[in-house]
Amino acid sequence: MRLGVFGGTFDPVHLGHLILAEQCREQGRLDQVVFIPAARPPHKQDKSLISFTERVEMLRLAVSGQPAFRIDELEKDRPGPSFTVDTLAQLRDRNAGAELFLLIGSDTLRDLPTWHQPVKILESTGLLVVPRPGWPIPNAEEVKKSLALPDSFPLRLQICAIPQIEIASRDLRRCIAEGRSVRYMLPRAVEAYIGDKKLYWD
């Protein structure tokens, strides 16, 4: 099985996330894409998130109807920060024999050297990289150089072209708090859930 791994806070999940996941699924010839909501993202420890349960429920609503998408709550009860390297190790244990591919943006790829145990990540997974405006995608040689990897390192990196739709969760949270429309930026069921629960309202 070729398994795509899409981690994030999904606070809230939006159409940009779903477009990225679907295009990577098709172009990367993935059998499944598993969404991994972060419980305690290391780069957002000083920021408040809505509850893990509510973020998972929005994901469930968003991916309903696409059998190739599923959600794994493996980070829910794990203590400490939600490091990608630990998540990948758990996924390998849960999906014996699966080939893993991490779905990331070109902006995130540039930050990879600052991640916890980045070399170990690359030893265990391929990368499906989507372009982000203003963030050129480094080639395999540049990635290896940034991590001081030998030329012989078996880096697996594929670029996936997707429509450039600039939607950011932080902007959606601000729009909701200000009472502005977010129609057509979120799945309708997610928008309704946010309204029913009064999430992100000031």
SS3 state of residue 199: coil
pLDDT-derived band at 133 (thresholds 50, 70, 90) equals confident
What's the predicted TM-score (pTM) here?
A: 0.92
Q: What is the pLDDT of residues 36-45, one digit of tens each?
A: 999 876 655 5
Answer whether residue 128 shows pLDDT above 70. Answer: yes
DSSP state of 92: H
Q: How far apart are the first and last CA of the chain?
A: 44
Cα separation of 59 and 87, whole Å?
18
Answer whether residue 143 shows pLDDT above 90. Answer: yes
Q: So what's the pLDDT on residue 43?
A: 58
**Chain length of the chain:** 202
- Cα-only R_g, the chain: 17
At residue 18's C-alpha, the angle toward residues 50 and 162, to 5°, is 130
Q: Which of 46-55, 62-71, 127-136 has the lowest mean pLDDT?
A: 46-55
pLDDT-derived band at 49 (thresholds 50, 70, 90) equals confident
Domains delineated in the chain: 2-164 (3.40.50.620)
